[in-house]
Every structure is written in C-alpha cells, then in structure tokens.
Amino acid sequence: MDFKAEIGKLLKKEHLPQELLQAPPNPDMGDYAFPCFTLAKEYKKSPQEIAKDLEKKLKPTKSIEKITANGPYLNFFINKTAYNKEIIQAKTARKKRNGKVITLDFSQPNIMKPFNIAHLRSTMIGNAISQILTYEGYKVIKINHLGDWGTQFGKMMYAFETWGEKTSLMKDPMHYMTDLYVRFHKEAEADPSLEERGREWFAKLEQGDKKARAYWQLFSKLSLQYYDKTYKRLHISFDSWAGEAFYEPQLKPTIELLEKKHLLEESDGALIVNLEKYNLTPCIVRKSDGSTIYATRDLAAAIYRAKTYKFDKNLYVVDVRQSLHFQQVFKTLELAGFPWAKDCIHLAFGTMRFEDGVMSTRKGIIIFLEDVLDKAVESVEKIIEEKNPHLKDKKKVAEQVGLGAIIFWDLSHDRLRDISFSWDKVIDFNGETGPYVQYAHARAASILRKTKAIKAKAAYEKLQAVQEKELLKQLSLYQEAIAKAAEQYKPSILAKYLITLCQVFNDFYEHCPCVTEPDKALAAARVKAVEKTKVVLKEGLTLLGIESPEEM
Ligand code: ARG
C-alpha cells in the first residue's frame, strides 16, 4: 500500500492539490502534513481555519488512523501496525516489462590486449546498469562492442611476423601478444618507419588479404577465449558480440548516406563532417589513406542498432576521455536526420588509478585484471583464516567476497569520479565496502538461523524504538533507490543505499535483540524486519553483480 497515495485520494475528493503534501519536520506532527497557506485566497479564510474545516471533513481510514489540524497544517498519522507490516511485507520483485528497449554498449575490451583493470569499470558499471534497468521493467540488449578492428592489428601482424612464433603464442597468448605490442612501440620510437609497416598490414587486412585475415581470426579467437574466463568468473553475459569488425560491410553505405545528406567535406585528403557550428572539432569518417576509423564504425553501429532493436535508448558505458568522440558521433547522426539521435547517451566514467598512475598497455605498465582479482581473493582468504578459521566452503566464500570487494569499490563511487584504488580500503570489513555489506547480510542470516524457534505472531506495532523505526524507514526507501539508480544510470545510488541500510541495521542489531528478547511477539516482529533486511541486501548486491554468502 502506498500511504501517500491514499492520503492523496482523500485530498482529491475535496479537490485539494495533493502535490502540497510534505513530510513534517518532527514526528509529533504526523507522518505527512498538508499546508493550507495557498488555499487562503480562494477560500477567503485563514489557513488555520481551513485546516480546522478540513479536519472535520476528512475521515480517517484503516491505514490513515488520525487526521488533525495543527495551526495552518493538516496532519496525517499512519496506523503503525499497517505501516510497519506494509514495509516488511512489501514485495521486492522485478517490475513488469514496460515494453521499452534499451541497447547497452559496455565492456568492449580491445582484442589482443589483456582485460585490464580499466575495462573493469565499463564491465561492472554496465552489468549493474543492465540488471537495474531490467529490474525496472526494460528489455536490455547487452552489447559487447569489441575493439576488434583498427591499426593495432596491423602493428601486431608486423610484430608477430618479425619477432614472433606460434608455439609461444599458444602457450600464453595474452602475455605474449602484450609483450609483442609493447615491443612494437618501443622499437617504433627508435625507428618510426615501423608505424608505416603496421599501416600496410592493416591496409592488407581491410582489403581482405588471406594471410592478414587468418591472423586476425587467430588473434581474435585467442583473445575471446581469454576474456570469456573473466566473464564467467564475474557471471557476466552478453546478447551480442558485434564488435567493430562486424560493421565493416556497413561502412561504405554509411559514408554514402552522409554524402547524400551533403554532410561530408574534404580536408587534407580526409573525409570529415564539419561540426564547427556546434563548437566541436570535425568528425573524421575516412582518413587520407582511405582507411575508416573508430567514429565511422560507431556511426554504422548506431544505425544498425536503431534498425535491428528499435531502441528507446541507446547507451554507451565508456571512459569520460571519449566524450568528444561521442558528441561528434551523436551530432553527426542528428544532422543526418535520425530522430533517435537524441536517445543516444554516453554514460561516462572516470579513471581508476593505482598508486603507480594511469594504467596503460602502451607504456608497458600492465595490470592484468585476473591478477587483481586473485590478489583480492587471497587477501580475503587471510582475513577469514584469522577471523573464522572453521568456516565451511572457505575458498568459495573468499572468491565471492574478494570479487565483491572490487566490484563494490568501483560501483560505490559516482561513476564520473576518478577512483583511487588502495588495497586496505577496498577490503576493509569496517569501511564502506563490499565485504561490509556482505558481512551485514551474513549477520542477518545468522540471526535467522538462531531464531527459528520463535513461533509467536509478530506484533508489528511494537517496533517503535528509534533503531527499529530507522531500519523500517530505510527499508521503505529501497524501491526508490533502485528507481533513482535506473533514472540516472548510476549504480552508486543503490550501493550507497545499501551502505546506509547496513549502518542502520548494525545499530538495530546492537540495541534490539531478537534471540534474548523476552517479549516473543516483539522478537517475532524484529525477526521479520531482519528477514526483510536480508532479502533487500541480497537482492541489492545481486543487482550490482555481487554474491552474498550466508556465512563469512
Ligand atoms: N574498445 C574501445 C576502447 O577501449 C571502447 C569502445 C566503446 N564503445 C563504442 N561503441 N565506441 O577504447
């Protein structure tokens, strides 16, 4: 039941503007207050008199048990049994499908490069957004727009032809390819003509040269096998793996379409869309050497998605450093006359920094994501060994908590912010972390195991202590937190909500015992509140892509 809506109905009957309804500053003034100031003119009475009149007119209901005038306000009091019960029993299930389709472009690793920690942000944020939007009723198409085309392939082909050999490649593909890539850049510093060799190889690939194609296939296959391990470990799946290469056949038609709309200009041999009027640098669609680029493929991809999925929104979870690129692409689509251009949104995120600076495959500072994940899991294993050495399934729990720590750290920060990553903070069981939330969940599970014997009927109206009220209030805000997170495409809103819920729950745990409470009807009501807290924590963590062990 929605109490506010119910009061709204009472007000509507009297033709009163329900949007004036507000939460009063203190609880003696009821749960909702209706200010009468603005009515004074129309009714030609003082607000105080109006409040008095309304007090007589409006009749309490089962759930709105008292309505009283208080100065210029009309105060509404909600029946506590109904209120508490309502919050505790509110359903927490996924909403019905709303018929809207969202395409969500996320993760997008670049073939031949390791899945590094920088990709983690896109993957985690994208996965959480997809689950939150699905919960809210959208149909979400998860697209992994792989970086599987571009000059880097030419460079790798040259490097492999010159310095590589297959046995070593097959043994440890990602490390081997990374080393070759780093070597290419080092040697190219001394001998810039290597860049030209790389371009030549890429041109061969674009022209469909057999050998180049075979290399492309091999490098792609090895990389995908490797990414797949990480996705499995993180329980992440995609509906489409159409990467940049997929759009290759659609590039010519895309350029022709822009041509037809008279959007193209030549500039130093390149084809561009001039965006000067919009204060943007030009969107280059074809380079002077005839090769197409990243932007052309994104134009083709957006057009393809509009046709194939008829999206209501087309979202891209990509590093904030690509903002200009997306502005150019979206503007070009708008100028080309696509009405859906306004529904394309770049969901930008900041950089994750380790102590040793921005990670970059080029500079050779490479942090492999799986090493980071492994390290998190190991650190958690040590903590468990100290805190709870007899825990069942230690390995599994350590994996869940270790990954949870990293994911939560990422998601609990506003996505636009840069994040600094330090180990002690990320896995601190007492900080605003994943393990902290998971621990609260395990604590709730433990309370429920210990109170199975309580058979009394829950007396919900007895939940009146400050900590109980706070817990209920926080629980009542859950759906709103998800809705807000969906609206702003910000999982951090849900993550922060979970942190607050845990803080309130821990307070409740300290002051409101379940096991030792002599009043069994009160204890039973508390147990119900714990049950609900556990459901919300587990579901909230699941939406973020984090597991919740029963014990830890
Ligand atoms: N693979 C790209 C990169 O790492 C990101 C792709 C983002 N998605 C897109 N449709 N452009 O830089």
Mean per-residue pLDDT, 473-484: 95
Task: Say if residues 95 and 37 touch (Cβ distance below 8 Å).
Answer: no
Q: Which fold has domain 369-543?
A: Isoleucyl-tRNA Synthetase; Domain 1 (1.10.730)
What tokens does 166 get?
A: 């297959």
User: Three-state SS string across 453-499, please?
Assistant: CCCCCCCHHHCCCHHHHHHHHHHHCHHHHHHHHHHCCCHHHHHHHHH
pLDDT at 440 over 80: yes
- 145 CB within 6 A, ligand 1: yes
pLDDT at 438 over 80: yes
What tokens does 330 get?
A: 């979206």
Residue range(s) in the chain whose domain bears CATH number 3.40.50.620? 101-249+293-358
C-alpha of residue 333 to centroid of ligand 1, in Å: 18
Cβ neighbourhood burial of 342 (10 Å; 0-12, 13-18, 19+): exposed
Q: Give residue-wise pLDDT tens across range 385-436.
A: 999 999 999 999 999 999 999 999 999 999 999 988 888 889 999 999 999 9
Confidence of residue 366 (pLDDT cuts 50, 70, 90): low
Q: Which fold has domain 3-78?
A: Gyrase A; domain 2 (3.30.1360)
pLDDT at 358 over 50: no
Closest atom of ligand 1 to CA, residue 301: 10
Give dist(CA 138, CA 315) in Å, integer: 13
Cβ neighbourhood burial of 351 (10 Å; 0-12, 13-18, 19+): middle
Residue range(s) in the chain whose domain bears CATH number 1.10.730.10? 369-543
Q: Give residue-wise pLDDT tens across range 69-128.
A: 999 999 999 898 888 999 999 888 889 999 999 999 999 999 998 887 778 899 999 999
pLDDT at 374 over 60: yes
Task: Say if residues 396 and 404 touch (Cβ distance below 8 Å).
Answer: no
pLDDT at 1 over 70: no
To which CATH superfamily is domain 101-249+293-358 assigned?
A: HUPs (3.40.50.620)
- 136 CB within 6 A, ligand 1: no
- 86 CB within 6 A, ligand 1: no
pLDDT at 368 over 50: yes
Proportion of the chain above pLDDT 70, given as a percent: 97
Intra-chain end-to-end CA distance of the chain, in Å: 36
Task: Say if residues 64 and 79 touch (Cβ distance below 8 Å).
Answer: yes
Mean per-residue pLDDT, 299-307: 98
Ligand 1: residue of 143, 318, 351 to mutate (most ligand atoms within 8 A of CB) is: 318
Residue range(s) in the chain whose domain bears CATH number 3.30.1360.70? 3-78
Identify the pLDDT of residue 361. 45
Average pLDDT of the chain to the nearest whole number: 93
Closest atom of ligand 1 to CA, residue 146: 1
The C-alpha angle with vertex 530 and arms to 524 and 536, in degrees rounded to 5, equals 140
Mean per-residue pLDDT, 366-386: 89
Mean per-residue pLDDT, 441-463: 96
Confidence of residue 29 (pLDDT cuts 50, 70, 90): confident
Identify the pLDDT of residue 362. 47
Cβ atoms within 10 Å of 437's Cβ, excluding its own = 26
